[in-house]
Amino acid sequence: MAPIGDRMAEALNVQAKWELFSSYLYLAMSAYFSATKLPGFANWMRVQAQEELMHGMKIFDYVIERGGRAELLAIDKPQFEWGSPLEVAEAVYDHEKKVTGLIHALVDLAAEEGDHATLNMLQWFVSEQVEEEANASEIVEKLRMVSGDRGIGVLYMLDRDLGGRLPKLAPVVAAK
Ligand code: FEO
């Protein structure tokens, strides 16, 4: 197979940067939840951060496997403060929708380049985004119900539930 084209490799390097930024952002959200004494939510975001790191590594490894040059781009400082757990969950949902758009643009580029191997690799990300958006949306919906007298009770129940979440895959090691 021919090595990956420069345009495709560059676009994948940019995507790896976004995945690593997602990891950084979710780790910042985890720290916010730890500071607000919601350890279950902090665990949820920590697990998400590990999964995003794995996504970035998956792309990094793929570029190298295809004979391209994996270039590490600068990662921005993520947001530090949020107004409420709902605000964080909404930000996660919005961020995942943005990432879905980026993945779909990569699929379009791979199709334009006639790069079938990259198209195939990206299908995993297309499916993953469906799941990530659904999970974030579910938590947004639950948090919207946290209002009124029973609000705090529901919030702590949700916190306990999220405290049990584990990563789907061990990060980094299972990158391929
Ligand atoms: Fe790797 Fe949540 O996008």
pLDDT, residue 174, reads: 43
Q: Please give the distance, rounded to the nearest whole angstrom, from the Cα atom of residue 10 to the centre of ligand 1.
A: 19
Ligand 1 atom index nearest CA of 99: 3
**Contact between 158 and 88 (Cβ < 8 Å):** no
Domains of the chain: 6-163 (1.20.1260.10)
Residue with tokens 């790069």, as numbered in its chain: 115
3-state DSSP call for residue 172? coil
Ligand 1 atom at minimal distance to the Cα of residue 96? 2
pLDDT for res 148: 57
Distance (Å) from CA 103 to ligand 1 centroid: 9
Q: Output the tens digit of pLDDT for each of the chain's 176 residues.
A: 899 999 999 999 999 999 999 999 999 999 999 999 999 999 999 999 999 999 999 999 999 999 999 999 999 999 999 999 999 999 999 999 999 999 999 999 999 999 999 999 999 999 999 999 999 999 999 998 876 566 788 888 889 989 888 876 554 444 44
Atom 2, ligand 1: residue with shortest CA distance = 96
Report how far residue 114's alpha carbon sits from residue 83's, in angstroms, rounded to the nearest whole number: 45
Structure tokens at 138: 């579910």
- What pLDDT is stored for residue 173 in this prediction? 47
Pocket residues: Cβ below 6 A from ligand 1: 19, 22, 52, 55, 96, 99, 132
pLDDT at 150: 67
Q: How far is 170 from 176, CA to CA, in rounded Å?
A: 11
Distance 155 CA to ligand 1 centre (A): 25
What pLDDT sits at residue 146? 79
The pLDDT of residue 149: 60
- Residue 26 CB contacts under 8 Å (≥ 6 apart), including other chains: 45, 46, 48, 49, 52, 92
Give me ligand 1 centre to Cα 47, in Å: 12
